[in-house]
Amino acid sequence: MDVVPGRVFMNKIEEKFNKFSYMVMKEADAKKKEMISKAEKERAEMISEKERILLKKAYDHIHEAIAKIEKEHNEEVSKAILASKQAVFNRRQEILESVFSNVRKKLDIFKQSEEYKVFMIETIMKGLEKTGQGEKQVFIDGEDIPIVEEIKAKSGVTFDLLESEEQLLGGCLICNKTKGIMYDYSFVNRLEAEKSAFLENYGLSID
């Protein structure tokens, strides 16, 4: 049987077309797989980024909540500490008032006695001698001015007599202006020292 030349030519063209079609389909399939893979990768990265953002938001929220709780806790603790210190302070003041009100009364009685005049003479004379040479000042309570004026007149010692701006509760302050020194012989100073010692000895000091 003879082969028709035209048919052979058509068969070769069809064969080439089939091969070309196969290559195109193969390349298209590879491209499709590549695109699918890339899309899945981008999707995974997008999901991962969203998860990271959500996790960060969750972490920040938790951190803020913890910080708020800690702040509230610290504030409550501080309030409790302040309240306890205030309670101790109030009680301490009550004890001081109770104990030292009697001391104040005894000082007031002592200041009306002749012994107080003797005390003031000895204190002022020793204090003036201790301050040394220079311009001297003696500060006292207003009610003690007559006593000290009498001491000044009888002793002949030169000093400026001034009323203290702060209540001394008795006693005096002696100052040498020239040397810039002052000695505190006031009853209020001694009373405060006694209060401090009392609080420390009986464990009532507030740190």
Mean pLDDT of each 10-residue bin along the chain, 207 residues long: 59 75 78 83 83 82 81 78 70 69 87 93 94 94 94 90 93 94 93 78 59
The predicted pLDDT at position 178 comes to 93
What pTM value is reported for the model? 0.52
Interacting residues of 168 by C-beta distance below 8 A, sequence separation 6+: 139, 140, 141, 186, 187, 188, 189
Residue 92: exposure state from Cβ atoms within 10 A (0-12, 13-18, ≥19) = middle
The predicted pLDDT at position 202 comes to 57
The predicted pLDDT at position 176 comes to 95
The predicted pLDDT at position 6 comes to 62
Strand partners, 182: 175
- The CA angle 31-37-39, to the nearest 5 degrees, is 100
